[in-house]
Structure 1
Amino acid sequence: MILFAIIAIVLFIVYVKWRHSYWTRLGIYQMQPEFFIGNARSVLTGKTSFAQTVYERYNSIKATGQQCGGIYLFLEPAVYFIDPKLIKTILQKDFQYFMSHGLYHHPKDILSMNLFNMEGDVWRNLRAKLTPTFTSGKMKMMFDTIIEKTNGLEAMVDKFASNQQPFAIKEALGRFTTDIIGSCAFGIECNSLEDPDNLFRAYGKKVFEPNLYRFWLFNLLPWWFLGNIGFKSNGRDVSEFFIKVVKETIKTRQENQIFRKDFMHLLLELKNMEINEKNPLTITDDEIAAQCFIFFLAGFETSSTNMTFALLELAQNPEIQEKLRDEINDVIERHGGKITYDAVMEMKYLDMVINETLRKFPPVTILPRICTKDYEIPGTKSTIKKGTRVHIPVWGLHRDPDYYPDPDVFDPERFNEENKLKRPDFTFLPFGEGPRMCIGLRFGMLQSRVGLISLIRNFSFSLNKKTSLPIRMSSGSVIISVKGEVWLDAKKIRDY
């Protein structure tokens, strides 16, 4: 019996070693794996942020001079592509090999069946249904709702400024974007700015709480098993809450013929279309629930995070803050003193500030893909096998001094037209690129623009000593976030 146990242990060790030599056997550089867990320790323990892990992997691979490198998540191989030309090929020209994100979804977990998670023809059909709801014309339709929510944000900051109290900008902006998305996605007034404990805010925050338990389950157990035992990727209480809200909203609007300028109305228009050969773009109640959910999460978290980092940098760079304020005032004056959609789109320096913020603090650290059929890496004899995880290291590209000299310096001029032309394509990927580029890009940018215009126009910001520097990224969070809070001091500079 002891002999059999020894043989089994030896065979297991040999098998693990063989699995962990996959990339070497393929002729691709690999980072040194730890026994069994591979290169996943930093993620599993939560001791290192995703951002730092991606940065270290990127630099390790780049130091070899190769265009890609391999890692292991337990025994599963994954590959990092770091060469911009190759990344462009993967995300655009050879997209058919890398159509999927490789993220958990199951029909019995309704909220998981959203556009971000879907694959293949199901994703393609859903994308075709939703694309018309994110045109610039549709954004104009929702513009007044976004502007309306700035009143509560200004009142909140005004209160702190009047009392000369520092305030936590990340929490304030999270409440602001929750109110916008609650109204634009669900047609519901959340009033998070007045009531920070409302259910929308509470459940939205809960989804983004670090959860290593879920990471283990997604990577160790088959998805069909998780779905069939009733597993809910966002938690049962979160799932039940959002599905109930969506279905009650659908019922109320249809019974009372309610019209609102929001995302829900656009989805209901799709739902009510007649199915025919020319226009098979109808959508089910479950699909509406899943899309409203992902729109809500992506909309409130990424935009609030982007504005938080922008204000963090503006508070430390008063000359940039003043230059931005001058542009905002000049453009608004040309538009009759009102913040209009056209005025917002005219603010070029504002876009440069936002893009530099996205460069330095991209919402996601990697773009995940799954190889959907065997792919020979251009210029090599190495073939990436179907089912292999592919990572595009956004955080590494954005902080590479070859593309962005002095990458820790906040410099919006990196994004003037002259400097943009100097950089290789696909070295700026805050929202992805190619057919799977973020569909809500326009809306997210519009939120960030309007929020910053409202604040910079009316207040001057400086960093409060309660903010810990240098800032650190929260570990275990998919969307990057500051560990702790960003505390600012505000001074009112304009009566409104």
Structure 2
Amino acid sequence: MLLLLLPPLLLWLLLVVPFTGPLGFWKNLGIQGPVGWPFFGNMMQFALGKKSYGEVYEGIYKEYPHLKYVGFYRLFNEPALLIRDQDLIRQILVGNHFANCSDNAVYVDPSRDTLASCNPFIACGDKWRLYRSDLVPLFTPSRLRQIVVAVNDSCQKLRLFLQNRSQFEAKELATRYTLQVVASGVFGLDSKCLESGEASARNPWLHWLLPLFQPSSWSLVETMALLHSPLLGKVLNYRYVPLSLQNWLQDLVLASSDGASLLHWLKEGKRTLPQSELTGHATTLLLEGYETSAMLLAFALYELACHEDIQDDLLRELDESGGAGLMGELRYTEAVLLETLRLHPAMQALQKRCTKSFELPAQMKDQGHCRPLEVREGTVLIIPVRAIHFDPELYPAPHQFQPQRFLAQSAQSMGCRFLGFGAGSRMCPGMRLGLLQTKAAVATLLKDQRVILADETQRKLEISPLTFLTSAKKGVWLRLVNRTGKC
């Protein structure tokens, strides 16, 4: 009998024990939090593709309302901290603790992902600050005024593209539009993404970029590699930017125009950039410029279709403005976009890695006998964006779409209650361009039309649990009708 039990016992020792040891880490330090499973930690529902990582973090956030932070376990039983307290979040993102955990915990191997490693969001150490300083001057008001030409031209193409279309998938349409803007604004090229027929079928921009961040059979394991495990990424030979796309982008930079484009202004910047970094920055401007704005536009149209009264207010503002003033006006339209980002943030959590140990105060809000916690180097700290945006103490009726939340104050003045663009020194440098091109598209599409759901079954939108950027599981199908209600 003992001989029969020996093989499964050895298998258990080899496979399970190495992944259970860390599960006592927080308990040994006197830190409260959920009990983890072997191997999966507290991410079982995420690993099985049943909940997004943001939903898992939201569940932990809600379970411990009395704590400033929670000790839990990520995949492979990695001890991590989920930060709940607004003051601590502020300290980590913009305050005294920022220098101790300024790196974002995403796993991109520079040897495989040469171009992605130049992204200020991905770069670590001293490099992120250097790369960000290259990009920030591109988004001044004077530079954006020059990009308005590309935005307006793309809006006209968008109107023509939608003629005689009874319905459309909002994310695909939005991606075509933002690719058109970014190709012109960044590279000085016409991507022809808003053309139909054979030209569309052969279009390399659409071939490479339309499916890049969409749910696929590999999305979940790629998200795990990106957010949880460099070892898994190595085993999979995972690349944030696929190698074939990297090669295409390198050729694209060489073919770009020297006109009034972001790439041209990069070449004229204070720092002389090696070709690899120039191509890396162009990749950042392309990928960050088209995908998150397309996502925002698609979800904003969806929310407007679901809330006719809010759409009425937005249409009234568009009519009164006469379509002008996209740079600084259309405050209600912008509030609609910000509220959309609150409900549908591009990234459902921010992950920070401690690079130098520091001390957090006692875990309990009522400190009592609790002691401060020394956060060790290498520890991942989770800022649960989705959970914060849905916290009823921060946003009354948090699941309701209420753009008026952003009329009384700007997104920046809301501090770390709103993290649609991040916060502090590592917040999105292209925020203004993203809002500009999205606002212009909304104004164009709804100039003399309304947006409605293509099918009432779309009213309850399912979010994919597989992708690291927020994505609709089955698309967002909409229709445009004229103001009298006819197609």
Q: Offset of 1:428 from its aligned partner?
A: 0.7
Of 40, 43, 54, which aligns to 2:43?
A: 40
Aligned counterpart, 2:449: 459
Aligned counterpart, 1:187: 188
Aligned counterpart, 2:78: 76
Q: Offset of 1:442 from its aligned partner?
A: 1.0
Aligned counterpart, 1:407: 398
2:104 pairs with 1:101: yes
- C-alpha change, 1:19 and 1:143, in structure 2 (3 Å) is same
Of 141, 145, 158, which aligns to 2:146?
A: 141
1:158 and 1:492 in contact (8 A); partners too: no
Aligned counterpart, 1:273: none
1:344 and 1:450 in contact (8 A); partners too: no
Cα distance in 2, alignment partners of residues 424 and 487 from structure 1: 32
Cα distance in 1, alignment partners of residues 229 and 307 from structure 2: 46
Aligned counterpart, 1:30: 33
Aligned counterpart, 1:256: none
For structure 1, the 5+ residue unaligned runs are 254-258, 271-278, 333-337
Cα distance in 1, alignment partners of residues 74 and 411 from structure 2: 35
Aligned counterpart, 2:242: 235
Cα distance in 1, alignment partners of residues 429 and 223 from structure 2: 25
Q: Offset of 1:202 from its aligned partner?
A: 2.2
Q: Offset of 1:213 from its aligned partner?
A: 3.5
- TM-score, length-normalised on structure 1? 0.86
1:104 and 1:112 in contact (8 A); partners too: no
Q: Offset of 1:12 from its aligned partner?
A: 6.7
2:225 and 2:238 in contact (8 A); partners too: no
Cα distance in 2, alignment partners of residues 61 and 241 from structure 1: 48
Aligned counterpart, 2:368: none
1:356 and 1:412 in contact (8 A); partners too: yes
2:386 pairs with 1:387: no
Percent identical among aligned pairs is 28
- C-alpha change, 1:282 and 1:347, in structure 2 (3 Å) is same
* Residue identity in the other structure for 1:377: L
2:335 pairs with 1:352: yes
Cα distance in 2, alignment partners of residues 206 and 4 from structure 1: 46
Of 115, 125, 141, which aligns to 1:120?
A: 125
Aligned counterpart, 1:177: 178
Aligned counterpart, 1:156: 161
Aligned counterpart, 1:335: none
Q: Offset of 1:377 from its aligned partner?
A: 0.6
SS across alignment from 2:315: helix
Q: Offset of 1:467 from its aligned partner?
A: 4.4
Aligned counterpart, 1:327: 317
Deviations 1:405-437 (A, max 9, x none): 22221111111216989x973111101101101
SS across alignment from 1:283: coil
- TM-score, length-normalised on structure 2? 0.87
- Cα RMSD over matched residues? 2.7
1:331 and 1:343 in contact (8 A); partners too: no
Aligned counterpart, 1:276: none
Q: Offset of 1:47 from its aligned partner?
A: 2.5
- C-alpha change, 1:237 and 1:463, in structure 2 (3 Å) is same
SS across alignment from 1:267: helix
SS across alignment from 1:133: helix
Aligned counterpart, 2:353: 370
Cα distance in 2, alignment partners of residues 169 and 231 from structure 1: 29
Aligned counterpart, 1:441: 431
Stretch moving more, 102-111 or 186-195: 102-111
Aligned counterpart, 1:265: 264
1:247 and 1:285 in contact (8 A); partners too: no
Aligned length: 462
- C-alpha change, 1:362 and 1:77, in structure 2 (3 Å) is same
* Residue identity in the other structure for 1:321: Q
2:339 and 2:401 in contact (8 A); partners too: yes
Deviations 1:170-224 (A, max 9, x none): 211111111111222222211112144322122113331342333455544449x
Cα distance in 2, alignment partners of residues 119 and 368 from structure 1: 13
Cα distance in 2, alignment partners of residues 477 and 214 from structure 1: 8
Q: Offset of 1:17 from its aligned partner?
A: 2.9
Cα distance in 2, alignment partners of residues 437 and 262 from structure 1: 23
Cα distance in 2, alignment partners of residues 7 and 52 from structure 1: 36
SS across alignment from 2:210: helix
Q: Offset of 1:10 from its aligned partner?
A: 4.3
2:350 and 2:383 in contact (8 A); partners too: yes
2:137 pairs with 1:132: yes
Deviations 1:439-477 (A, max 9, x none): 111111111111111112221122222643311101211
* Residue identity in the other structure for 1:407: P
Aligned counterpart, 2:367: none
